[in-house]
Structure 1
């Protein structure tokens, strides 16, 4: 530690920007050529990406840029990325004006320095640094605070150290530049809080117990991306220690086998503002360092569920808290008063106050973690709320696929546990939990249950838990009966309260005329079922087991559980009309002479209309009803007996669901679908027959046209319908939306 930290070896630290411009030409002539690895030069890429983050400190960042402009390293060896963290003082414009001022069009490429401005609206140093890293083109990222002043040889010394030692991360010497007189009570052992960093006088591997100073350090980009970017939950609070994320990064680099070095010749000066030269500033930093200890501990687990959960009922938790509270009480009511009465120097009393603040910060963070899920914004915790109907074939596959993406997913049948909401409430103003409602229109809720669910949804909103909805479609969207109005209302209101709506369509504007729903829709391709069920039974065997005659011709299959009663009546009438027309005039549709219709599954909205018609069709030789639930055991039987699957619908813009279509196509059965927003443009023309929704004549035409389809999956199509690959891809897309929502993006 030097006797006078205020003295710096950085020459010209007080030079003005104008004097730098005036001497720019002289500096260019003395600029050294690049040395070491030339791979990046051959590709036209810099070796170093200098990332400077700033927020409402226009003058400071301009001064920092002025010193970067004086580097002895060739300009083509580094780029400068200024990340504006939502400044309101005109910082971006000032930076661009400074960079472009005095530019020479005839300048050689190696004499042009590259500076660009990136915007990061989310406040926090880690957010800003991650943004800069995401656009960095160099192999080494150099992170600088906007209040640092670099020595002219700083970048050259860093690059030399990387090349000569093979280091993965290098930190330099950080000295202090006092913007005001140093207080008498500020002893040397407190200077590291202001950014001072000088662990050795020679180049050496960084000691294991140490971390770089946050204001200036460098890391290979490949190493940073390998260990994962810094957690936003460790971002810099307005009064928190900026070193929290750096301590975490250094620990993770060492744990992954990377080497860290210290180079004293790579020097910077950290400006110490007058506002930081007060006792409350140091006490506040100590408080946040205490909280940081708990945060860093929780971030070292690879999965959220590995972090030990703390509960008030746990004796170990109570003992730990009570011990720390007693220590803090002793510091507040015994140690500090005794120091004051004994007339001890003010620096000793400051150390005691900082020790007490650190304890209090540690306790506060421990209390916040009690009955709280681990804070990991990059690994969402999701509660999947679903209807729990046994014939739902898609939800179990979705749940499994999401868990394979590393998501901590818990499922619940039409319930939101209050304990889950409390455990996944926002953590330091960061959302960590997501409520995902899967096909909410299928929920069979009483008015009282709906009111309770709405109360919990509003509570989730107040706790800053994100809400998403999967609109997969269903029979309730195909009916306008008053009896099903509560389902419609509940689903529509829930989608209006959602941060994202997952659906399958190429026409979201037509599926959701409401602008709010349209803007929140996330449209993904549906997943398939190939390989999920057993191989289809041979057609002859399947028809024999279902009681169909050996002479049965083209056979249509309809899954009743996906349709309303009126839609099934619409299909029965169209089928009978087509059959009678074929018998009367055999020249019109010769393929209809021996057709059969299988209706499989339970009917949801029974209004006794179909029951009367069923009595009429009970003895019909060409129509067969199977009232059993659609399960994995009988799907190979029913699909094996059928030639095609038909979906009857009326002209309602949100009617229909793609589940039976993907099921049929996965097992090479063509489908008859309506020309509605959910279906339009989603499937192969060679595998589908379109009709005008609600039109008998159009449906009859489609029933005939589908008989000409000889559909087989091509090899390239099998990945789209394979159950494992398609559901994993769908879950990956959903997971990306989860993460964006937790980061505050819509």
Structure 2
């Protein structure tokens, strides 16, 4: 089973991070790997990629004529891929060396049609003490309570997800309208929408293997409180917006909210009473603020999409 891994990049500012992401793909313990690089309309970046990887037989490199966005670039990468499985990883992430091996295991042993794994944090500027693990998803990291272990989930993060190539093609890939609908560049959730369509078409979700790990670099600006609140708002907006594309269901969101209200907050309050930790009080405060921001974003989207 051949695995094609698509990495999209577009700016020289991210090149060193892209280089590390690409090298992590090529250093997999699984042998039958193809790296597909799509440069999104930046000739200077394309030239550097060709210089560094152009002589490799296991690498395909392409450059869009203009900037078309991440989802369209990923679709192009999937079209260029020759693997039985097409996987996606961001240019600010690093795959564990056994990542592809674990994904292949899901296809061979679980008969999966899509598979993904755990996103772990790589704190570039240090871990913020106020950020609760329940909201790690704001920085692209698998959050506390996501799943109890291996099994089928609705979707994993877009930087650690893969599909059987024929399934991805049959579904028509990512919906490129998501990233630019109503001119709102903050709209997220391409993998959520695609996996919702996959559920409708095949009646199946993504097989989640927590041992298929990808580390996501969390840069300093992503640890700023104001940025996180803004991110929470637009994530709430995106959750509602996804419902205008396809019925993605709300079971995961309800489960998450119940987990917050019935388990996380009571546990943290008990811990606060015992330890009287300033950091714990900050995390409890952030849980309420981030939850409120998500809710406000969701309500704003209801009005915006009428």
- Partners of 1:200 and 1:290 lie apart in 2 by 21
1:71–1:160 distance in 2 versus 1, CA, 3 Å: same
| TM-score, L = length of structure 1 | 0.34
Equivalent residue for 1:73, pick from 22, 26, 30: 30
**Change in 2 beyond 3 A, CA 1:239/1:353:** farther
Deviation, structure 1 residue 238? 8.8
1:364-423 CA-partner distances (Å, limit 9, x unpaired) = 3233323xxxxxxxxxxxxxxxxxxxxxxxxxxxxxxxxxxxxxxxxxxxxxxxxxxxxx
* SS in structure 2 of the partner of residue 185 of structure 1: coil
Q: Give the one of 66, 69, 73 matched to 1:121.
A: 66
The answer as to whether partners of 1:284 and 1:357 remain within 8 angstroms in 2 is: yes
SS in 1 for 2:209: strand
3-state secondary structure, aligned to 2:215: strand
| Counterpart Cα distance in 2 of 1:116 and 1:247 | 27
Pairing 1:215–2:151 present: no
- The Cα of 1:100 is off from its aligned counterpart by 4.0
Matched length: 268
Give yes or no for contact 2:187–2:237 (8 Å, CA) kept in 1.
Answer: no
Alignment of 1:112-511 (within 5 A): 112-119=57-64, 121-197=66-142, 199=146, 202=149, 204-207=150-153, 210-235=154-179, 240=186, 242=188, 244-256=189-201, 257-300=203-246, 345-370=281-306
What is the aligned partner in structure 2 of residue 93 from structure 1? 47
Distance 2:15 2:165 in 1: 27
Provide the rounded CA distance (Å) in 2 between the counterparts of 1:123 and 1:194: 24
Distance 2:54 2:61 in 1: 11
Q: Residue by residue, what CA displacement relative to the aligned partner does 1:248-303 show, whole Å, maximum 9, x if unpaired?
A: 222222222235211233221111111101112211111112221232111127xx
**Higher helix proportion, which one?**
2
- The alpha-carbon distance between structure 1 residues 365 and 200, as it changes in their structure 2 partners (threshold 3 A), is closer
Offset at residue 361 of structure 1 (A): 2.4
Structure 1 residue 120: Cα displacement: 5.9
1:131-166, CA deviations, whole angstroms, 9 ceiling, x for partnerless residues? 212222222110110111112222122112211111
Query: Contact 2:131/2:286 (CA < 8 Å) preserved in 1?
Result: no
Q: List per-residue Cα deviations over 1:620-656 (Å, max 9, x = no partner).
A: xxxxxxxxxxxxxxxxxxxxxxxxxxxxxxxxxxxxx
Q: Does 2:18 correspond to 1:61?
A: yes
Which has the bigger relative contact order, CA under 8 A and spacing at least 6?
2
On the 8 A contact 1:169/1:219 being kept in 2, the answer is yes
Assess, with a 3 A threshold, how the Cα gap between structure 1 residues 86 and 280 changes in structure 2: closer, same or farther: farther
Q: Where does 1:562-573 land on structure 2 (aligned, <5 Å)?
A: none
In the other structure, the counterpart of 2:269 is none
Change (3 A) 1:139 1:179: same
CA distance in 2, matches of 1:275, 1:287: 16
Shift in CA distance, 238/128, structure 1 to aligned 2, threshold 3 Å: farther
Q: What SS does structure 2 have at the residue aligned with 1:231?
A: coil
Hey, what does 1:309 align to over in structure 2?
none
C-alpha distance in 2 between matches for 1:120 and 1:206: 38
What secondary structure does 1:73 align onto?
coil
With over 3 angstroms needed to count, the CA separation of the structure-2 counterparts of 1:51 and 1:238, relative to structure 1, is: farther
TM-score, with length taken from structure 2:
0.78
Deviation at 1:182, TM superposition (A): 1.0
Once the two structures are superposed, residues 700-725 of structure 1 have per-residue CA deviations (whole angstroms, 9 ceiling, x without a partner) of: xxxxxxxxxxxxxxxxxxxxxxxxxx
Whole-angstrom CA distance in 1 between matches of 2:133 and 2:65 = 36
Q: Which runs of 5+ in 2 are unaligned?
A: 248-277
Q: Once the two structures are superposed, what CA deviation does each residue of 1:41-82 show, in whole Å capped at 9, x if it has no partner?
A: xxxxxx2221111121211111111112212222xx222111
> Counterpart of 2:251?
none
1:665 corresponds to: none
State how far apart, in whole Å, the 1-side matches of 2:177 and 2:226 are.
24
Alpha-carbon distance between aligned partners in 1 of 2:184 and 2:41, rounded to the nearest angstrom: 14
**2: CA distance, partners of 1:98 / 1:152:** 20
Listed as ranges, the gaps of 5+ residues in structure 1 are: 1-36, 38-46, 104-111, 302-342, 371-746
